[in-house]
Structure formats: C-alpha cells, structure tokens
Amino acid sequence: MRAFLALLSLATATNAAAQPLTIFSSNATTALIEELAPQYEKTTGQQLTLVFDSSASLRTRIEKGEAFDVLAATAPTVAALAKSGRIDQASRTDMARAGVGMAIHRQGTRPYVDSIDTLRGALVTAESITYVEQGATASVLRGLFAKLGLTEAMDSKTVYSDSAAHAVAEGKAQIGFTQISEILNVAGALYAGPLPPDVQVYTTFTAGAHPKAPAAAKQFIAFMTSAQAAPVIRKTGMETLAGDRLPPIPAAQLTPAQREAVDAFKTARGGDITGPFHPLLRSPELMMRTRAMGDYLRFRSALPPRLSEFVILMTAREWMQQYEWNAHYPIALKAGLRKDIADAVGEGRRPSQMAADEAALYEFCQELHRNKTVSDATYAQAVAAFGEHGIVDAIGISGYYSMLAMVLNTARTPTTDNGSPMLRPVSGSPSPK
C-alpha cells in the first residue's frame, strides 16, 4: 500500500497538468467509480471524466470508435474488447463481483424471498418485472425462468428498461432485477434482497485501459483494485475478489528449470501455459510430468472425445471447479455431448435420455467420486461398455482432473466468464472461495 501511495504522489505533478482521463463505467460499477474518482483526483491531481452506461452499450460505443482511457465493465465485455485490440491485454484487472438483487419502489411491499419456491411465488404474483434486455443479468434471469417453467408468464409481464433500478423507482414496473450494486445507487429504489443462494449468480467486473492510454490510466486501475478501495467496494454492494495465490510467474523471474518446463509445454501443446500449469510451474518437474500425462488422457485415451469430455465435466462439477468447467464445456459440446446432458451435470442432477455408453460412464464416475469405489454391478456394466482399458483410462481422467481441480482451487486461479453455465453448490458438493 505504501508503495502504491508513493507511486500516486510521484505521478501527481505530471498528472495535474495532463488531459483528463475518460473513464467508461458500467451501470453496476457507478457507485464504486463515483466514490473512488474524487479520492483519486484529490490524491493525484489527475482529472477524470466519467461516462456511465450498460456494459453492452459501452462495448458498442468503443467498437464505433468513441474515445476512452479506462473501461470498467463485465469481464466478458473487457475480454472481447481486449481480443479485438481495443483494450490493452496486459492492463486487464478484475475489480470486484456483484450478485443479482431484487429492486422495488421505496413505497412498495417487499416480497419475502429466501428460496426458489418463495422466489417463484413472488414472480407469479408480480404484476410486472423489469431488467435490461442486453444487460449482464438478462441471461441469468432467462435461465432461471426456464428452470421454473415461467418463461411465457414472465415474457408477458416483462418491461425492458435501460436501468431496472430506475424503472421501479419511476413506477414503470413492480419488481426489477439487476446487480445489487446498481440498486443501492438509485435513491428511489429499495433493495429488497438477493436471489436465493441456490440460484444466485455473480458477475465479475474488470477494468482495462485503451492500448494508447497514458500511464495514468493504469495507475487509476491500480487504485480501484488497491486495499484502499476494498471498503468502498463492499459499501457499494459489491464483493472483493479472492486474490490469485499462485499467479503466472513473469518470464524474467523464471529459473532455468522453469524455463525448460515452459519450453517443453510450448513444444508439446503448441501454445503458452494456461490455467493450472501456472501454479504447477512452482514445481517444474511435476508440471512437465503432469502435462505429459494430460497429453495422453486428454488427446489419446481409449475413450472417444465425447465421453472423455463427459468425464472431465463430471469431475469439474464434483470439485466445483469453474475454470475447468468453462474450459471444457464448449469442447464437450463440439465433441458431440448433448447440451442437455452437459447442463444437467452442471446443475448436479442425473441427465435424462442418455445413450447406453453415457449412462454406464455416468454411473461409474458418480459412484467413484461419491463412494470412493464402485459396486460389482456398476463395474461389470462399465467393463462391458468400454473394456478394462477404457475403464482404467476413465479412472485416469477422473483422477487427473481431480488433481488439476485441487491445484486450481488451492491457487484460486481466476476464470473468465465465457458464457458456460455457472456451477452452483448442491448438497454434498464443495464450495471453494
């Protein structure tokens, strides 16, 4: 913290005479930016120009060429703009996360919602609801409505708005759904409570700088994610993010053994190391041996890709490992696993209408994970379907990805939302923080 404040003090004289920084902020991070910006201006002398809009609208404005220096928006928005070269990839920094909450008019009657059943009751009895059609909450709500069998009923009473909190404050709808942080920032709206824990979904918000932004842009991002900002993050209805315990090691700091392991990985996989291999690099020989095992289990096992990816998804679900899940969910679908089967696994329930080989593999892996062994009947069914070679490889895939999940959960390796379903705790499953 002292080093950061020293950096700000050093930048003060230069920034005071500089042009104002243009900060694009999503509606959900409005309260956070509005409170932090004056503190930053006072500390550094750097003036800020603040622009607020939905993440989707900000992305469109940037793609059309509107000038900005820093963007604070949903993680997928910043990731997409970084991929297209409109955000400096190295500047991307996760700021905080926000859950979805319910907003009502300040004079309205607060519905009692503490479970899926009471939420369903509130939705059914509401005269109208609102949310942003292209906002971060939209996909969450639509999936929830479908799960509750209320898609048609909700479509008929939905009033789309630019801001759900403002819409209920102005009497345009009875109930609004959006990030909690946005509700707390609207004077005429009352925060009625979060979605129930078993359906709550969090959105990560990330900051990034324009590739040609001045150095002050990255200084502002550092300020927003510093210890000084943490109390403001919590005050404005958001949550601080657990830090990556074992982040990527800068190339200049690699030991000769680590550099050898990195080079071997690039040769074998044709790309840079990712995910669990960053923390594993602390033990370079283990990293190389782990990668070698993965080369076989991932690409050359006795199970076809559709089924090996099925095993990986079941393992990720068992360990509540979102990075692993996000990486392999799209791969599994591309390999031929039906989406309804993958989604059922993600929700912690037995898929329906599985093919015979899928059913045999599902029962085998579920028993192995939950009971730490398999029954004679389940074993016989699996051997009949895959042979002893296939069964041993299925065990190997389950064990390998369990180990990677242990590494990722321990390291708190961050993941980026890529549209894959969010894993939520179910009875008996771990809930890593």
Measured CA to CA, the distance from residue 102 to residue 346 in angstroms comes to 25
pLDDT digits (tens, 9 = 90+) for 126-179: 999 999 887 667 877 888 888 889 999 999 999 999 889 999 999 999 999 998
Sign of the alpha-carbon dihedral angle for 225, 74, 234, 325 = negative
Distances in Å between the Cα of 137 and the Cα atoms of 7, 78, 82, 131, 251 are 37, 17, 22, 7, 38
Distances in Å between the Cα of 232 and the Cα atoms of 33, 135, 186, 219 are 9, 23, 17, 18
Q: What are phi and psi of 93, to 5 degrees?
A: -140, 125
Q: What are the sequence ranges of the domains in the chain?
A: 2-97+203-235, 98-202, 301-411
| Superfamily name and number for 2-97+203-235 | Periplasmic binding protein-like II (3.40.190.10)
Q: How many CA atoms lie within 13 A of 209 on its CB side?
A: 16
Both structure tokens of 155: 């479509």
pLDDT digits (tens, 9 = 90+) for 188-208: 999 998 988 877 878 889 999
Q: What are phi and psi of 424, to 5 degrees?
A: -120, 150
**What is the identity of the amino acid at 49?**
T
Q: Specify the higher pLDDT residue, 7 or 32.
A: 32
Whether the pLDDT of residue 424 is over 80: the answer is no
Q: What integer pLDDT is reported at residue 425 of this predicted model?
A: 63
Element (H, E) at 18: none
Q: By the 8 A CB rule, do 384 and 357 touch?
A: no
- With a pLDDT cut of 70, the percent of the chain lying above it is 93
Q: What is the third-level CATH fold of 98-202? A: D-Maltodextrin-Binding Protein; domain 2 (3.40.190)
pLDDT digits (tens, 9 = 90+) for 15-71: 444 689 999 999 889 989 999 999 999 888 999 999 999 888 999 999 999 999 999
Measured CA to CA, the distance from residue 385 to residue 377 in angstroms comes to 13
Quick one: average pLDDT of 271-276? 92
Q: What integer pLDDT is reported at residue 148 of this predicted model?
A: 87
Both structure tokens of 372: 């730490």
Whether the pLDDT of residue 3 is over 60: the answer is no
Q: What integer pLDDT is reported at residue 228 of this predicted model?
A: 80
Same topology between domain 2-97+203-235 and domain 98-202: yes
Both structure tokens of 139: 């996909």
Quick one: average pLDDT of 252-271? 95
Q: By the 8 A CB rule, do 288 and 261 touch?
A: yes
**What is the identity of the amino acid at 317?**
R
Residue pointed to by tokens 């319910």: 102
Instruction: Tell me the whole-structure pTM to 2 decimals.
Output: 0.60
- With a pLDDT cut of 90, the percent of the chain lying above it is 65
Helix ranges, 73-191 (H): 75-83, 116-125, 138-148, 151-157, 164-169, 180-183
CATH 1.20.1290.10 fits 301-411, yes or no: yes
